Each structure stands twice: as C-alpha cells, then as structure tokens.
Amino acid sequence: MAKVSALLSLLFLLFSSISGRTLVMANVQKSWCVAKPSSDQATLLANIDFACSQVDCRVMQKGCPCFSPDNLMSHASIAMNLYYQAKGRNQWNCDFRGSGLIVITNPSYADCIYE
C-alpha cells in the first residue's frame, strides 16, 4: 500500500509540474515586428537589406506568398518580422533605428503568414 501511495504522490507531482508549465506557456503573448507607417523609403530599404542579410527572405520573392502587395512598407515589415522572430523576439531586435513597431495583433494576410 505504501508503494501505491508513493507512486500516486509522484504522479500527482509530475502532473502538477506539467500543468504548471503549460499554464505559464499559455500566458506568453505572441508578438510581431512591423515597420512604422511613418518610416521613409530609404529607411525601409535599409531595413530590408539588413534583415535579409541575416535571415532567409525568399517568402517575399515574386511568386511567393508574401510578394503581394509589392511595396516597401509590406516587404520591410515582412523582413523585419523574419529577423525579429529569428533573433528571439527581443524588443531590441525590432528597433531598426527607431523604425520598428512591436504589435500583438497578427499581421498575416491571405497566404502570407507571419510566423
């Protein structure tokens, strides 16, 4: 009987531990990095060049899901978010010299899924 009681106690602790971790993980809010609407074209181009030198930006190429709309604001936001996600979603990974904005609303559209 003592073995059964000890086993049940261990199972309870294990379940409590797993449940506690799940609860903590559920409270983590997802975030994305996008370009500030006030950013100028030179800044957006620089952000695309920098981010795409660090991460794979193929998703923005013609014929890929995030090519359209084909404009600097959209492409910069995609590139900046790819960089932000790859580098660990730290606030400083979305700074881009003050032209990045962290959002908590998923900016995905159509087939262009922001990870």
Among candidate residues 108, 104, 103, 110, the one with its CA nearest the CA of residue 34: 103
- What pLDDT is recorded for position 69? 96
- What pLDDT is recorded for position 1? 55
| Token pair of 95 as six digits | 């700074």
- What pLDDT is recorded for position 18? 40
Angle at 60 between CA 57 and CA 66, to 5 degrees: 130
- What pLDDT is recorded for position 114? 95
- What pLDDT is recorded for position 93? 98
Q: Which residues of the chain have pLDDT under 50?
A: 4-26
